[in-house]
Structure 1
């Protein structure tokens, strides 16, 4: 494992072994059996290219009512608990922070991307966001605390973990593209991204 710092983003390359990645995918399948992936839409009604679900006390929802956290899946069922193997990563890389109340589960197919955005729907932005990559490589773009200006990009690979704290916690970031078939972790390809946050 190596640690790369780009701006204030801390990238732990190869944090998870192949065995740990496979075990985590198996646990996530159990979560998704309870709270299946759904396709969110923007407040303007445009479908997003990622599909998502969540674990924890809260899940993040995007629909015509806006962006927000909810205590239940759109189907009405409660979110599953955050798996212990996922929590252990947070506790290792975010020591001193409260345990996360939300673990977003985003699935990207080969054409999906995520536009530049800030994570700012949480009540206390002093806690970090921890992001875990599983499956196909993704081009991660890192920007500034205000929109626009120079950006930097790095390919995230399966097993990499990114910690966004300090200035990076408020920085714009996104996924420009996914490199299909760059990983054999997921039988049908694609990428899973987990993001852990303190909500309240």
Structure 2
């Protein structure tokens, strides 16, 4: 496995997962799910998404990949990141500044995410933290260099993954979901929360 990748299996118990789902649903009332699109082709993602925090990640044919302070459809500011999510960051990230973006990704049974790198952030020294809720996903990860071998593993409901060090630059994605592997959500699918620090802290870490 790539140095800096850390999986915390079953980090969240069932009650905590349920509480987190309730908080995320409240966020989605304020910031409904939307469908991002690829910059060049305008092809829609199979994953729907929203955000919480001061900044949210969006993508469309006109503006490309970027962070912005408002929802691309409603124009409203993103809701605050739930305290429970911030606590997970504080407990596991080892980074002395809070996340600024919490991507809320909804994977339907047929959704997937191709191999990609998280590189739209200035604070590349901060880890990326991923929280899985709902059906198990087949996660693929490989080194930053294209063409190098990748490895697959399962991310189950309640798992938390951390990408730091070399893994922060890794190519990673979701090959497929395994519908019916969780009863947490009302329908087959998966919620993934991805926490990122976008801007460099005013006081450098250390």
Instruction: State the TM-score, normalizing by the size of structure 2.
Output: 0.93
Measure how far apart 1:148 and its partner are.
Answer: 1.9
Query: Residue 111 of structure 2 aligns to a residue in which SS?
Result: coil
Match of 1:67 among 59, 65, 68: 65
Q: Does 1:55 align with 2:23?
A: no
Post-superposition Cα deviations, 1:92-139, rounded to whole Å, max 9, x if no partner, equal 001233100000000001100000000000002000000000000000
Whole-angstrom distance in 2 between the partners of 1:120 and 1:7: 17
Whole-angstrom distance in 1 between the partners of 2:152 and 2:107: 18
Is the 2:132–2:158 Cα contact (8 Å) retained in structure 1?
A: yes
Post-superposition Cα deviations, 1:172-199, rounded to whole Å, max 9, x if no partner, equal 0000000011100001121000000000
Is the 2:95–2:127 Cα contact (8 Å) retained in structure 1?
A: no
Is the 1:97–1:127 Cα contact (8 Å) retained in structure 2?
A: no
Moved over 4 A (4+): none
Whole-angstrom distance in 2 between the partners of 1:50 and 1:141: 16
Whole-angstrom distance in 2 between the partners of 1:157 and 1:86: 17
Count the aligned residue pairs: 195
Alignment of 1:77-88 (within 5 A): 77-88=76-87
Is the 2:56–2:103 Cα contact (8 Å) retained in structure 1?
A: yes
Match of 1:10 among 6, 22, 35: 6
Whole-angstrom distance in 1 between the partners of 2:189 and 2:164: 27
What residue ranges of structure 2 are gaps of 5+ in the alignment?
A: 200-206
Query: Residue 28 of structure 1 aligns to a residue in which SS?
Result: helix
Is the 1:35–1:53 Cα contact (8 Å) retained in structure 2?
A: yes
Aligned partner of 1:191 in structure 2 is 190
Post-superposition Cα deviations, 1:2-51, rounded to whole Å, max 9, x if no partner, equal xxxx3221000000000000000000000000000001111111010000
Whole-angstrom distance in 1 between the partners of 2:102 and 2:29: 16
What residue ranges of structure 1 are gaps of 5+ in the alignment?
A: 1-5
Alignment of 1:27-66 (within 5 A): 27-43=23-39, 44-64=41-61, 65-66=63-64
Computed over aligned residues only, the root mean square deviation of the Cα atoms, in angstroms, reads: 0.7
Query: Residue 10 of structure 1 aligns to a residue in which SS?
Result: strand
Instruction: State the TM-score, normalizing by the size of structure 1.
Output: 0.96
